[in-house]
Amino acid sequence: MMPDQHAKAGSGKLKKILMFGLPVLALVIAATLYFTIWYVPTSGLSEADLRRVENYLRRVDANLGKLQIDSPAEDNAVYELRKALALAPNYGPALDRAREVAEFYEIDARDLIDEERFEEAVAEIQKGLEIDPEYENLLTLNEELTTMLAEQQRQADIADALQVAANYLAQGMLVEPGETNAYAAYQKVLELDPQNITAIQGLDSVLTGLLNEVEQVILTGDLELAGNETLKVASLFPNSRRVNDVQTRIASALRGIREQEEVAEFLSVAQQQLDEGKFIEPDGDNALDSYTEVLNRLPDNQAAIDGLTQIAAQFTAQANEALSQQDFAEALRLAGNGLLAAPDNAELLSIQTQSTGQLSARDQEIQEKLQVAQRLVLSGEFLPPGENALDTFKAVEELDPGNLQAARGLSRLPDQVFEEASQQAKLENFSGARDLLEIAQQAFPDQERFAAMKSEMNNAIAQQEKEELLQDLLETGRRLIASQPLTLDTIDSFSATMSDIEAQFPGNLTAAEQVGDFVNAVNSRARQVSAGGSEDSGVVLLDRALSHFEGNQQLLNSRNALEKAKADRLAEEARRLAAMMGQLAIDAVPWGEVTEIRDAEGNVQQLPASNSTPMLVKLMAGSYTVSIRDSEGGTPQNLSVNVIAQQTAVATARFDSLTADAYFERSSW
């Protein structure tokens, strides 16, 4: 055989081997791929157990097809699946069936939730989790449903407590008996919902009722009992300005009654002292002191003023008598005594001036200092610093030891200072009263009443400062509520303000009402910024508020509403887009590769991960150009196609294809 004949013979054999061997090779490769793809680990099962498991799973599939999930008994998917899982708890196909069953339970549970049959939904979820404990959808749904049911129960408890509280309030059971009263019931509501406006308003009604009862007691005249009842109210409503106002009014009324009683007693004693001629002496038992005590309490008391006028008249007559006898020293002494009762009496001042002109320089200096001291007393300049009555009277005593007027002036100063401090306290000038008492303590160290009253002033100042702080904080809260626009910083600032109030003034009703107003403002602003599909902006505001007022139902409701609005909007947008979408089926004969798809404006469209044909892509309705190249990577064909919404367009490229014989011949085989 010639060489070329041998070559042709060899070529023919090779062709036959390739023609018949290639399909066999392809079959082997396909079989290998099949078993590679579909091989499932048997988890160490014996062949017999594996057959049993597969048999159970076939029954599971059959029951799923008939929707016999867990009934009838012993003929349902769950029953067969449990047997399969008992033999092979980690067998992949069995776990896949478990997930399918769990998905059925999930669908049932969601349907029951839509029908508000929540207890049945919980039961379905538990069944699903028993089959597939790791099914994330059911775990999430279970958590959401549990949270929702807990919130529903909380709201039901709140509603029940509010109803009970309203009944107690209507029956007048404000704080008694025991725990079955309106106050306790409203407090229970606030434990469940600290910002509940109805409960806050209910407590305000309780407070109003209690204060009305106190007012009724006041009308009976039993102020001591009214004061005791107000203390009980204050223990329930600490830091309440309304309670403080009533307490202040009762204390003022009690003080007024005591003053009236004391005034009546002093007037009676003073009249007796006048009758006995005890005008300014002896010390501690004279009409001047008694009338002065009356005027310290009631500066306009006419009886005391008339009494002092009588004393001044007595000394005026005696001084004129001494003056007529040219006993100037005695006239001066008597005029001075009269001026103790009536410092601005014109006749006594004239006698004093006439007598002083006839005295020695020393006597004149004494009289001038006494006149200065009297002026300082009248102007309220009792104590240092600066020119004051105390130092001036002491200067007189240094010049004239035993001087009666100086001694009398000094003995009266403590009472006058104490009364001045009391008057400043009545005017709520607590700081001024405290400063005066501080100096009085140093000037009169043996007078314990100054220390006691200063302690009262310190307490009053502290309370006043606390009240001013509360009002400042509340004003800050009002300003933040009204601020525009409401921002995240505003929310943080308002929360910090409310935290300060709660820390220093727990249970303040005004602050609680402000929280309600602020929540309304946040909700309003969230709705405003969410307009036009910007729900996320509103959610950011609400989330910031919820980070401070955790569990606030109004905020949660608003957030849920925005989330639902967003979901509805996106769903509608998806439906709208879907309605505008069509499909493009791309193919090539025998096959090809899609290099790109461009729309009418030349914009490149996104392709699937695999560019090989056949290919199915979703596109907006419109005109497109599809570029496809053949297997040899030649010049792509450009196909024009029009995609119609809700329809499938087809683009097919056709390439010349070599037969096997042509290929081998071209290869010179």
Summarize pLDDT for 43-101 with one digit per residue, the tens: 578 888 889 989 989 988 888 888 888 888 888 889 889 988 988 888 889 899 899 89
Looking at residue 542, its pLDDT comes to: 92
Looking at residue 8, its pLDDT comes to: 39
Looking at residue 463, its pLDDT comes to: 86
- 424 phi, psi to nearest 5 deg: -65, -35
User: In the beta sheet, which residues pair with residue 585?
Assistant: 616, 650
Q: Work out the pLDDT band at 657, boundaries 50, 70, 90.
A: low
pLDDT in tens, 466-511: 888 989 999 999 999 998 888 999 999 999 999 998 888 887 888 8
Please say if the pLDDT value at position 465 is more than 60: yes
Please say if the pLDDT value at position 394 is more than 90: yes
Looking at residue 240, its pLDDT comes to: 84
Say how far residue 452 (Cα) sits from the centre of its chain.
Answer: 41
Please report how the helices 223-236 and 197-220 are oriented relative to each other, as an axis angle in degrees rounded to 10.
170
pLDDT in tens, 311-324: 999 999 999 999 89
Please say if the pLDDT value at position 7 is more than 50: no
* Stretch 543-571: mean pLDDT: 88
pLDDT in tens, 123-151: 999 999 998 999 999 999 999 889 888 88
Rounded Cα gap, residues 397 and 318, in angstroms: 24
Q: Percent of the chain scored above 70 by pLDDT?
A: 91
Q: For 173-240, where are the alpha helices, taking DSSP H only?
A: 182-192, 197-220, 223-236
- 144 phi, psi to nearest 5 deg: -65, -45
H/E stretch holding 508: none
**Of 93, 100, 54, 55, which Cα lies nearest the Cα of 78?**
100
Rounded Cα gap, residues 280 and 337, in angstroms: 8
Looking at residue 635, its pLDDT comes to: 82
Q: Work out the pLDDT band at 567, boundaries 50, 70, 90.
A: confident
DSSP string, 77-145: HHHHHHHHHHH-TT-HHHHHHHHHHHHHHHHHHHHHHHTT-HHHHHHHHHHHHHH-TT-HHHHHHHHHH
Looking at residue 241, its pLDDT comes to: 85
Lowest mean pLDDT among 19-23, 368-372, 547-551, 653-657: 19-23
Rounded Cα gap, residues 387 and 390, in angstroms: 9
Rounded Cα gap, residues 497 and 500, in angstroms: 5
Please say if the pLDDT value at position 341 is more than 50: yes
Q: Work out the pLDDT band at 586, boundaries 50, 70, 90.
A: very high
* Stretch 253-279: mean pLDDT: 90
Please say if the pLDDT value at position 663 is more than 60: no
Tell me the three state secondary structure of residue 246: helix
Mean pLDDT across the chain: 85
Percentages of the chain per state (helix, strand, coil), in multiples of 5: 70, 5, 25
Please say if the pLDDT value at position 268 is more than 90: yes
